[in-house]
Amino acid sequence: MKAIVNDMIVNLHGKPDTTSELVDEILYGMTVNILEFCDELWVRVQTAYRYEGYCLKEKLIIDDAKASQWQGEANNVIIQNFADILVGPKIQSTKIATLVKGSVVIVVEENDLNQEWSKVKLASGDVGYTRSYWIQHAIADTVSEEEFRENVVQTALSYLTTPYRWGGKSPLGIDCSGLCSMAYMLNGVLIYRDAKIVDGFPIKQITLEQIQKGDLLYFPGHIAMYMGDDLYVHSSLGGNEVSVNSLNEKHPHYRKDLATTITAVGSLFAKELVH
């Protein structure tokens, strides 16, 4: 059974209890598989990137046919931190919903880049308008490797100063694996949402000597994205927000605790890198 996320941000908990650990967040328009109906309030779900947790049923549209159709048609993501969906194509219009970066919608009418507004359809069936440049069609294979690497780094950097939130992955708060997984997702690639390399996902291990912009650095319980020039961007519990640090001990933002504890390096382009 499939379902569609029908709220701006929906918490995934470790147990069917709102006071239990937040293990992940799922954003508006994402689809999930329902693994178990726990009781009248809770369901256990699995995300597209195979993460599992418990969420409130009231936050989902539970309809296998609708969810399957939505999954096939909704290929547009919000790239603005926060985007209002309005009843009409003007700023004074009534708000239907507010969505965060990473939310999924259907573009009903493709607009020229010079046009300010795009008509979009929500999972609820409501139709509204939002700024055209706040929406992106996420397909990774339309760009070169060099462009993808640059794009994924710039996407990660767009979260700079976002507060650290355990299990978070929105501009309201994001953790280390949330940052890296969202940067890739917003560029059309689903990677594992955790600080480790997992079989069955596109990130493969490479050596530190092969690292390039956009590759991932793994530490004990932590993950960061390499930016080039010994710099990396990450959401750090120690720093309390998304920030940039360095692997170079002579750099003012060097962090010895991370630079000396790298456990692995991963790349989407491992086949081209490993000899």
Judge if 80 and 69 occupy the same domain.
no
User: At 232, is the secondary structure helix, strand, or coil?
Assistant: strand
Domain boundary at 137, 162, 183, which? 137
Please, which pLDDT band fits residue 139 given cuts at 50, 70 and 90? low
Cβ within 8 Å of residue 50, ≥6 positions away? 192, 200
Please, which pLDDT band fits residue 142 given cuts at 50, 70 and 90? confident
Lowest mean pLDDT among 22-31, 81-90, 111-120, 198-207: 111-120
**pTM attached to this predicted model:** 0.92
Domain boundary at 92, 121, 137, which? 137
Judge if 174 and 222 occupy the same domain.
yes
Position 99 pLDDT exceeds 70: yes
Question: What is the radius of gyration, based on Cα positions, of the chain?
Answer: 19
Comparing CA positions, the residue from 101, 215, 209 lying closest to residue 150 is 215
Judge if 164 and 212 occupy the same domain.
yes
Judge if 148 and 268 occupy the same domain.
yes
Q: For 78-87, what is the mean pLDDT?
A: 96
CA angle at 161 for the pair 159 and 166, rounded to the nearest 5°: 80
What is the number of other CB atoms lying within 10 angstroms of the CB of residue 45? 26
What is the chain's mean pLDDT, rounded?
A: 94
Residue 52 lies in domain? 2-73
Judge if 215 and 150 occupy the same domain.
yes
Judge if 132 and 147 occupy the same domain.
no
> Of all residues in the chain, what percent carry a pLDDT higher than 70?
95
The 10s digit of each residue's pLDDT in 12-46 is 999 999 999 999 999 999 999 999 999 999 999 99
pLDDT of residue 218: 98
Active site residues: 176, 222, 234
CATH code of 227's domain: 3.90.1720.10
**Number of domain units in the chain:** 3
Token pair recorded at residue 133: 């440049």
Domain boundary at 46, 73, 100, which? 73
Judge if 145 and 223 occupy the same domain.
yes
User: At 244, is the secondary structure helix, strand, or coil?
Assistant: strand
Asked if 223 contacts 177 with a C-beta cutoff of 8 angstroms, the reply is: yes
Judge if 157 and 258 occupy the same domain.
yes
Q: For 75-82, what is the mean pLDDT?
A: 94
Please, which pLDDT band fits residue 101 given cuts at 50, 70 and 90? very high
pLDDT of residue 273: 43
Judge if 177 and 162 occupy the same domain.
yes
CATH code of 121's domain: 2.30.30.40
CA atoms within 13 A on the CB side of 266: 24
Asked if 29 contacts 70 with a C-beta cutoff of 8 angstroms, the reply is: yes
Judge if 184 and 256 occupy the same domain.
yes
Q: For 172-192, what is the mean pLDDT?
A: 96
Judge if 64 and 86 occupy the same domain.
no
The 10s digit of each residue's pLDDT in 114-136 is 589 999 999 999 999 999 999 98
Lowest mean pLDDT among 105-114, 139-148, 194-203: 105-114
pLDDT of residue 237: 81
Judge if 202 and 239 occupy the same domain.
yes
